[in-house]
Amino acid sequence: MAYDGRVIQQDLDFDIPRGQIFVIMGGSGCGKSTLLRHLIGLQQPAAGRILYGGDEDYWAADETRQDALKRGSGVLFQGGALWSSLTLAENIALPLEEFTDLPAAAIREIVAVKLALVGLSGFENHYPAEISGGMKKRAGLARAMALNPDILFCDEPSAGLDPLSARRLDELLLELRASLGSTIVLVTHELASIFAVADQAIFLDAESRTMTASGNPHHLAQHGSALVRHFLARGEDA
């Protein structure tokens, strides 16, 4: 991954197992969110391939196929990215109206189910400004799940939340994985979230500009490199 010839990360090689929660971790400025943008097709890598399903090269596909692959993914952006002028129901209905031919009644039913899934039943007619930060993240998650994606990408979902709201969001991600079999790719530097939800993780090092560890965080906290162990013990101070 590079900007104007400046390498951000290189020699990245990893697999994301189906049905697991996969965490991209590392200190500030290491390229976590940049990697996420590459994985969801918003940025093309300077070199290398991104394979969906093990063998389909996203950037070698034509535009029609790329669009289809994107629709197989849902994204929870860091700030929630809800449209402030739309109600929660309208926000969640938007991708359904855009990418399906479902009648209005079916869309309303799906919206109700998605809001119930994230614990927001009864908030259909609320606007984003009328709910808390944690509720906005959950509403953003409901929208990301609107099209029943195979993969859910989450960029710093706990950022800006109080510890209780962050823990509830972690629990919600675990419930989605358990009930829907979702594959979840999570960018975070929050220790509590990393240890609570991750099945597997990679560590991006800003100094060497590559991944220096991969595996279960609990294992890496004991047997990883000194840098990774320090990060997992000290969090943002690493």
H or E stretch including 214?
strand 210-215
Per-residue confidence (pLDDT) for residue 236, from 0 to 100: 42
Which segments of the chain have a pLDDT < 50? 235-238
Q: Give the Cβ contact number of residue 165 at 10 Å.
A: 17
How many DSSP H helices and E strands does the chain contain?
A: 9, 10
71 and 99 Cβ atoms separated by less than 8 Å: yes
Give residue limits of the domains in the chain: 1-72+150-238, 80-148
Domain 1-72+150-238 fold is Rossmann fold (3.40.50)
Query: What three-state secondary structure class fits 157?
Result: coil
Longest Cα–Cα distance of the chain, Å, equals 56
